[in-house]
A = this chain, B = another copy of it.
Amino acid sequence: MNAIKALLQPRSVAVIGASRKRGKIGHEVLRNLIDFGYSGKIYPVNPNADTVRGLRCYPSVLSIGGDVDLAVVCVPAEMVPEAVTGCGRKGVRVVAVVSSGFKEIGRSDLEERVVETASRHGMRVLGPNIFGVICTPSKLNASFGPRIVRPGRIAFITQSGAIGIALMYFTILEHIGLSAVVSMGNKSDIDDSDLLEYFSEDPHTSVVLIYMEGLVRGRRFLGAAMRTSVKKPVIVIKAGRTSKGAQAASTHTGALASSFRVMLGAFNQSGVLYASSIEQAFDWARIFVEDFRPLGGNLLILTNGGGLGVLAADACDDQGVELMKPTQKLREELKKHMPYFGSVENPIDLTAVADDDAYYESVLTAVGDPDVHTVLAMYTQGPLTDPTLIAAKIIKAMKDVRLATRKPIVFCGVGGEQVERAIRLLQEAGIPAYRTPERSVSAVSVLLRYTRARARVEKKLAMLSSR
């Protein structure tokens, strides 16, 4: 069994330092593990307890009868090398060291000892200084982060523990589903590249999102990113990309920030999609979950408000997205679903009277037109129409054509509470939905960029392998 597989799909987990005291990290990790519904064997290890949270407790990892795939280490830093030695003797496959107090506070010596020990026993190390590891298909939540994780198809890898936990809360709020969350902490051994190799093959993952501060072993990362990018998108948020940010990062993790311009060039070469903010990264991830297959760059925008169309057109110009010129045939078809004062110039203005039926018919028309490659349906809330009804009809239109096409349909709604509800309905039905024209166009844009990047990287990999 591959070490990363043992980390994310372990058949058994030992929690070393499983405290009886609530609030202690070792206690919380065990509690999440139990409460999230992990079905493998769980072994709390604590020499001073008989049971923790109703489970039989072991004085040491060596005293466990069965095999242990993953050991989550929560004991104080000074005790970690000894704990890892025990794991090695036991034949553990991989250790996740949650404990902090290593390189991040100047104790590189202790960290090196941990990695050397593990390596001597053929084990890999995640961490130290992490909040844990989560894999929703395995029902594994070996972390002291949020207990609830919404299952989904985004694998989220984070170098910062605090940001990682905060974003887990954020994904719950924003109804974003995750296949896995891996906190990498100090990246003493297992790093982004190892995880990319795993997630590129993982059938539960459609897109990988990495929050990165420092990049170590850059060349290896770029190779892994290339191999992953031809299968699924890799989105990177790079903190510390400016000189002020890099300075702050060096205080924080001790990572040496590379020159960002060089890094951005390398990212582009490898197909990595660089996101400039957390919000953008998750906006992008959302659209990749849907497995859309745009056949080209022709975008058709449908809107019930001219102003929103203008803002979207500005965003298209900013982001290099083409607004197709509708054919005469398409114009005539669309005219049937709008009043005489509507507009069939792209963005198509269905006007404020456009109801759910008008959206249904015009989305069907647009998706059915072979020249249209992507449809962006936009809505500004007004007194005449109900966005939740419109959402329902767009979902129906999508379902009516789903078997025939994987043409992207994206929604943008501007308004209040009812628009929020419409957005939720659409997201849950598999239509990426956004709150501003800029964000929706950004999602359309990244889909096209990824399609092009993948083709480019495929060619490059083919060239490299034919040498």
Q: Is A219 part of the binding interface, using a Cβ–Cβ cutoff of 8 Å?
A: no
Give Cα A247–Cα B312 distance, bound, in whole angstroms. 12
Q: Is A245 part of the binding interface, using a Cβ–Cβ cutoff of 8 Å?
A: yes
- Is the CB–CB distance between B414 and A278 below 8 Å? yes
Query: How many copies of this chain does one complex carry?
Result: 2
Which candidate, A7-15, A166-174, A194-202, is the interface stretch facing chain B?
A166-174
Contact-size category for A: 35 or more
- Is the CB–CB distance between A173 and B317 below 8 Å? no
- Is the CB–CB distance between B382 and A165 below 8 Å? yes
Give Cα A244–Cα B308 distance, bound, in whole angstroms. 13
- Is the CB–CB distance between B170 and A414 below 8 Å? yes
Q: Is A248 part of the binding interface, using a Cβ–Cβ cutoff of 8 Å?
A: yes
Give Cα A380–Cα B164 distance, bound, in whole angstroms. 9
Q: Is A55 part of the binding interface, using a Cβ–Cβ cutoff of 8 Å?
A: no
- Is the CB–CB distance between A160 and B278 below 8 Å? no
With a cutoff of 8 Å between Cβ atoms, the chain B residues found around residue A416 in the complex are 146, 169-170, 172-173
Which candidate, A56-64, A234-242, A445-453, is the interface stretch facing chain B?
A234-242
Q: Is A327 part of the binding interface, using a Cβ–Cβ cutoff of 8 Å?
A: no
With a cutoff of 8 Å between Cβ atoms, the chain B residues found around residue A249 in the complex are 306, 310, 313
With a cutoff of 8 Å between Cβ atoms, the chain B residues found around residue A104 in the complex are 341
- Is the CB–CB distance between B160 and A305 below 8 Å? yes
- Is the CB–CB distance between B105 and A308 below 8 Å? no
Binding site for B on A (CB under 8 A): 28, 104-105, 144-146, 159-163, 165-167, 169-170, 172-173, 211, 213, 239-245, 247-249, 251-253, 276-279, 304-314, 316-318, 323, 341, 343, 345, 347, 349, 352, 380-383, 414-420, 435-438
**A/B interface sample: 12 pairs, CB < 8 A:** A160-B306, A160-B310, A161-B352, A162-B352, A163-B414, A213-B307, A239-B314, A243-B317, A244-B314, A248-B306, A249-B310, A278-B436
